[in-house]
Structure 1
Amino acid sequence: MKFLQFTLLSFFFLMLCTHSLLAQIPQVPAQLEFADLTVKITPQAQREIQLDVDAQYRNPTYFKVKQDRINLYMPIVERELKSLGVPEDLKYLVIQESGLIPDAVSTSNAVGFWQFKQGTAEEVGLRVDAQVDDRKNIATSSRGAALYLRKHNSSLDNWMTALVSYQMGLGGAKAYFGNQYSGKKVIEVDRNTHWYFKKFLAHKIAFENQIGMFVSNRQLVEMKVQGPVTLATLSKRLGVSEEHLREYNKWAGNGKVPAGTFTVFYIKAGSLPMEPAISKSEDTPQKTPVYTAAEKNSPVYKQANSYPRISGNTTNANQPNQITVNELDGVLAAKSTSPDKFSEEIGLKEKKFLRLNDMNSDERIETGKYYYTEKKKTSAEVENHLVLPGETLWSISQKYGVRLASLKSKNRIRKDADLKAGMLLNLREPRKRGEAIPIIPIAQPAPQTRTVIATTAPGQMVPEPQPEKPSVNKPERITHTVAQGETLFAISRKYGVSVENLKSWNSIGSQNIISVGQKLVILKP
């Protein structure tokens, strides 16, 4: 009897949710605005488009899943379209193309968020090879789509025909539409209007009032990293699983970020089982303690730069069994190298060395840093550490000779994104559940006004490059001979030019065909 009651209640609840969703299905209006156009829709076309709108809402569960993806990715799509002067309304096209599934593949072998074929992807500067597939990267693929649409609109002079050209190509759109819509600002949609545009309008109407509505508290975070580095290594730094990073970085072939600077995506909050760095009591909210300027002269503030403590034969610190680091056997790195070479030099097995220092095999040994050859402790000699700008959980654990897992556990903090300058971390006693981490306001370093060349270790965050003033130098004319295995994309990257320019300079068609031994003209800026 109880089971029957539960089943009936579940059924009524499901019906109530379904009815609630169906009750809010938007209706197709007789007129709407799209990009810079006024779109008038005939009654027959309204009914036709309404069927597609209704289809989006037919399955409430699937609709919510899609809505969640839209709210996750759409801020990045909007940003990339805006940066290239493409109307924001075009963002609904990515929903139509892939449902925002990063590795979606069509029957014609179009791939990714914006469903690019390889040749078209390379035309707009996307990288497609065994290591990187930019079509599965929401930022780069959206930028490529914006370039593609902007180029077609400049030729067709109408955003409706430019949008349809996304499905049939520029040549196809010119043949289909001719010049009848060029420069027009009022469009009438009727039974004869191209199906692709009517399908787009259905997606715009279905989702334009849903974007930004609460579905979950997940937030997509972008972090620039310097490769080569594996997603397994990054997952450790970010406090998420490797599977999590693979899910949101399907552009990275084989779970590896290759050499160069790339953006990695991960979820900051929501479905991840994590606790905030600064917790609040469930009963009464706590204010984060703030220390005054006078307290900055306390020993805990001054000790930040007094570790690690080195003793022993410091003249031979780069040799094993010569020094101790925080009373643990250690060694100084005399040069930057890989962990396997360094561990061989100091007479340790690589796996043991990595385990002792909470490292992964693809991380670099840095010149002037101290590394442990003995197991680190679970607690430090001192009670607290004041977090300074630029520090990470790993660097703090190395500074005091404390295991990384112990440091995270004591402070209920799991990743560097939750670490803030001025935090007073516990190094001995675990922090109580709900206890706020105190923060001492400290001065941030003043920005440098001189130009410097910075090197970044693999896996570390990379600062945003500052825009340079445009050069007025005359382009240098270079002749490149195509070698075996080269592609237009590889050649464009080699000389720092776009695939589109490379094709234009050499009259290469849309199939991107080049042959071994072919001479290509390159105008290098």
Structure 2
Amino acid sequence: MATSYTSSIGICKKVWLLSVFLTSGWATLFVSQAALGQAAPNIPFDIEFAGVTVHLTQNNQLKVKEEVEKLYAKRSVVTSYVYSIQQLAPLLNPLLRASNIPPDFIHVAPIFPDVNSVGYWGTSLSKGHQLKLTSNGQIDERLHPLVCTQAALRDIDYWHRIRKNYVASLLDYLNINGDSSVPDRLSAYYIMPNAQSSSLFWKVIARKLVFDHEMATNQKPAQYILYEYKNGGGKTLQDIAQQLQVSAQQVITYNTWLRTSRIPTQTPYPVIVQLTPSEFTYALSGERQLSAKQTNQLTDIGFPIVKKSTEKGEGLRSAATYYSINGYRGIQAQNCDNVITLSFLGKLSVNTFLKYNDLTATSVISPGTIYYLEPKAKRAKVPFHIVQNDQSLRSISAMYGVKIKSLQKFNHVKATQRLQTGRVLWLQRKRPTGKAFEYIQQVDTENNQSAPEESTPEKVDLPTQSVDDSTTIITELSDETRLSYKPLNTNETNTAALSPESELDPDDTIVEETPKDPMLYHCVVAGETYHAIARQHAVTVQQLYSWNNRTASSPLKTGDMLLIQKQSPTPSKADSSGKPSTDVVRLSDIDSSQYLFHHTVKPGQTLYRIALIHKVAVKDLMNWNHLSNYTIEVGQQLIIRK
């Protein structure tokens, strides 16, 4: 009897202890981990995010665990998230780097499927309004990955300049209720989030843990690469799918921002398309031809000459896709590739691969791009190239298979120099000493009009000038030049010289620009987008891009000065959030004690010559205009203060 009583007491005690255990948080952690087995990552107390140690209390650890469980409830959900990051990272990472935002923030970008009515970067309708994103019957910019990213990064950068802690900046960004969820005492490298932190924050932390865990277990790369289709104005998504010869779903997935049948023409929103590597190569070539046709550009749209190779890798190299690019051996980058993997797949040392492609050890590899596995030529197979929007020396070098050093030598430019759209680059020999820079005026044949103009052209005499500072604007090429603009015989050697008739005529029209409209500069503040600035000044976004040589994918930083060629309304006062009002610099607003005006760079002028004309120091001229070197372009607007 005593034994039975003692046993009963022991059983009751065990049941009581078990009930206490099951109702505690530790039981939840234990049972959840057992249910998930080895599939899910462990949840540590300290997690590194954006260079900051995030310390989790037991309750916060449970919140992260709950979000991890939601992701692993279906294996397809985890796979879908990993693939979305692999696809978005190459598209958004350049914007993150330009804004000095750590790459871990990429986990904030994808849409949260279990949260209703939010876009990219967790943007609710109220948050989108705060970020000045357009949401109407035609478009919802919260659902455009590029436009929304630009607006979100400016807001995060605004908060980081206040908090000096990236996780605290994220907490402030995600919090739209006005109640601070950031601890009062804050270190730059440590934070312990409190109970008021946004529920989206725990989802972001869970996303990072899951992604890192999955990538460490040899997750296969995503099937698709994201491609920016930039000629979509006036078209339907179905039109683009047919042109690129892809399924409609590949175009629809990342373009739910479009609420009408056709893409707006006034605002050139890029269309994000999912493409396989082989489709990517076809699309890149096809859109280049379409762009050249629409703007009547004299550019050889046959380059690069790309052909899929019959070369097959063995063993670890079996997944590689090899190409012939301009007659040289090449390899196409896939999602998650870097210079090390491509060097291995190409059977080259890392340094040799970098040399062949004019890259550095920190260069970012772009999925879908074909990289060279053999040295490029010293000369191209065509004599000239007309610079298009967003082209750099490196992209032109890859396009024609010619070394960057040759392009620098032929055109007297530096590797990091910004190239002005329409400039004629010499690809086979040096531009003769004393010969002016050549520019081709682009014409939009689709709308039967020239590209947006900032000036009224007039014919002037060509001054005596040095090689580095001379400039010529060419509105039309002579028939002789057009006939000579063709590829050289591929059987000829690369040392073949240009025939005299293939040179551009130095007596072509030279344009001196005189502004039509009142000019002002808009100083970008945190949270602004190109679209918001355009609306504020009653101009189109395309005009804003054209006046400032930018595109939709060009980063917009706080403090940037944007040229406006149209009189704007009076700038608004500071808003209720306490953020500074938009700073518009107008000629009429300048204090007479420091008069400000603009100088339009004319052919043959240098910074030194302009400084002499206005009796100012060259150093001041560079500071006023944020110039890092002495390079200026014809038509460029320089601020002069006196």
Length-normalised TM-score, structure 2? 0.41
Q: Which has the higher contact order (CA 8 A, sep 6+)?
A: 1
After TM superposition, the score normalised by the length of structure 1 is 0.49
